[in-house]
Structure 1
Amino acid sequence: MWISWAFFDRRDGTLRAAENAGEPTMTASMVKAWLVADYLASHGWDERLSTIIRDSANEPAWEIYALLGREKSIERMISVCGLTDSAPGEDLSMTLMSARDTVRLGRCLADGTAAGPRWTSWLLDEMRAVRGTGDFGIREAFAGPDRERIAIKNGWDKRQALGEWNVNCLAVAPAWIMAALTRYPSSLPLAHGAQICRNLVSELV
């Protein structure tokens, strides 16, 4: 079992983080938030982008990833968002990112640096509209209007060769940004990682 987290307070600019917050892990689908932002900044809107965020759709994500130059897009993320612990992986889902870099990515998405001023509101609205399997974790700890204001992009992948899950949560709220990253045995369900992300809220927010 491996857990890492970071919490950025947007009101006073302070960061709290786990001791291992600089240790990277594979992002799985969480990195699709950057992928969509990178495409918006360079190409503008595309009908495939909404389902990449809302449904974490893989086929259009791979198409966009290829159009953006694959690892070149990840290298842009590192440069544009000022990441220090991240690197391209063998494929999109194997992109490496730490908890503190995940919070930095959240800031980059929220302040318009990633997608640009024209598209940032649209991107965050799509992240608030995440649905289906990918709607889990951090914002489940909230109800009503508070939950509706939280933009998320989660990542989850059962890596059979390693015998473990990668389950990662990114949440962007009006007052804070939070990352929770996990690895744990594949014999446990996805819900186990979702619960870890949700439970961390009570300690951090």
Structure 2
Amino acid sequence: MRPRVAMVLAIVAVLIGGVMLVPAAYAKLSGGDPLGGIGGGVAQVPAPAPTTPPAPTLSAGPVSVNFKGRFFSWALMDRKTGKISGARNMAATNSTESMIKAWIVSDYLRELDGKPLSAQRRQQAVTAIRDSNDNSAEALYNAGGRKPVLQRLIKMCKLTDTKIYPDRAKWAYTQMSPRDAVRMGDCIGDGTAAGPKWTKWVLNEMAHVRGGVKDQKSVTVQGGHWGIVDGLPESITAQGPVSIKNGFTMLWDDGQWHVNCLAVTDDWTLAVMMRYPPAGDPRTPSYGAKVCASVATQLVTPQPGAALKVPQQPLGKL
């Protein structure tokens, strides 16, 4: 075959092949490919995966409370970063009252060091937290050595403002700041306080505290499910249990209500502490409970662009 003829045939073959390839390529772009397209003449672009906005949480922000009393302060710890924010006086102290019972129980359980927990001690641990039972807390405090229980708290949780009451190792009189209270909450939450075996158990007991603010029946049955948890929207409480332990005393030797609220979650721990004169019903810390709830509500950070319903806590007047 002559060279010129061979060249012409080669060119024709290339042209024919190109004509056959173009429709096939077009078919794939237009969705005509029987293996994956659906037709219609438009290229199919996968839709972006939906993104879930971050859930609401508590974060540092301004807090305004029309508080009329001798002392008011609060602190919030971001447990992911360890950063503590709060009132300017968050290093000032208040008597801990029953708030410290969460540590007393945790300390006793950790000190078991693998030994079995008796039925009697288990019941004391349960009631010390759920019912704020003073007798149960005192029994565990005695079993832990009394003053060393508080000394371990200061050392293990790296507290800087807490002081043991002079000449009396009474747990309720321990002076603690809101800044140290959130450190104690984090210490309980991260397992330092109760140890790996008992931490989840303690947090679960704190999440099932019983009784309302008016259920103060005796030193063995004191309602403690109030305060911070009442100021949180369902969008936060539905994420997981909120572990709490409040403390109060009725007209201590200075003639003031001493009221403290502590809450611990996986993301944060919040403490609100105050002293104020008797108001309203002198048998219950109702006013202080509303103050704690109000602080929590004001620190809620909603989802971007989402409406957030939060409980309303009118404080009333002193």
**Which bracket does the TM-score occupy, shorter chain normalised?**
over 0.9
AA of the residue aligned to 2:294: N
Question: Which of 205, 222, 230 lines up with 1:140 in the alignment?
Answer: 230
Deviates more, 1:158-167 or 1:192-201: 158-167
Contact 1:7–1:177 (Cα < 8 Å) also in 2: yes
Give the paired residue count. Answer: 205
TM-score normalised according to structure 1 size: 0.94
Contact 1:25–1:97 (Cα < 8 Å) also in 2: yes
Deviation, 1:11, is 3.0
**Runs of 5+ unmatched residues, structure 2:** 1-68, 212-222, 301-318
Describe how 1:72-87 pairs up with structure 2 within 5 A: 72-87=148-163
Q: Secondary structure at the match of 1:112?
A: coil
Q: Secondary structure at the match of 2:250?
A: strand
Larger radius of gyration: 2
Is 1:63 paired with 2:139? Answer: yes
Question: Which of 193, 198, 204 lines up with 2:293 in the alignment?
Answer: 198
- In 2, the alpha carbon distance for the partners of 1:122 and 1:16 equals 28
Contact 1:138–1:201 (Cα < 8 Å) also in 2: yes
Q: Secondary structure at the match of 2:150?
A: helix
Deviation, 1:155, is 0.2
TM-score normalised according to structure 2 size: 0.62
Question: Which of 278, 281, 302 lines up with 1:186 in the alignment?
Answer: 278
Question: Which of 148, 166, 191 lines up with 1:112 in the alignment?
Answer: 191
AA of the residue aligned to 2:87: A
Contact 2:232–2:296 (Cα < 8 Å) also in 1: no
Q: Secondary structure at the match of 2:192?
A: coil
Aligned match of 1:93? 172
Contact 1:5–1:17 (Cα < 8 Å) also in 2: yes
Taking a change above 3 Å as real, the CA distance of residues 17 and 145 of structure 1, as seen in their structure-2 partners, is: closer
Aligned match of 1:149? 241
Deviation, 1:188, is 4.5
Deviation, 1:94, is 0.6
Contact 1:4–1:20 (Cα < 8 Å) also in 2: yes
Aligned match of 1:7? 76
- In 1, the alpha carbon distance for the partners of 2:110 and 2:257 equals 32
Deviates more, 1:90-99 or 1:190-199: 90-99
Deviation, 1:142, is 2.5
- In 1, the alpha carbon distance for the partners of 2:181 and 2:91 equals 10
Contact 1:81–1:108 (Cα < 8 Å) also in 2: yes
- In 1, the alpha carbon distance for the partners of 2:242 and 2:190 equals 15
Greater RCO (CA < 8 Å, at least 6 residues apart) = 1
Aligned match of 1:26? 95
**Runs of 5+ unmatched residues, structure 1:** none
- In 1, the alpha carbon distance for the partners of 2:150 and 2:178 equals 16
Deviation string 1:32-67 (CA, Å, 9 cap, x unpaired) is 000001000012633210110101001111111111
AA of the residue aligned to 2:84: L
Deviation, 1:146, is 3.4
Deviation, 1:144, is 4.4
Deviation, 1:13, is 3.0
Deviation, 1:68, is 1.2
Aligned match of 1:130? 209
AA of the residue aligned to 1:171: A
AA of the residue aligned to 1:135: H
- Alignment RMSD, CA only? 1.5
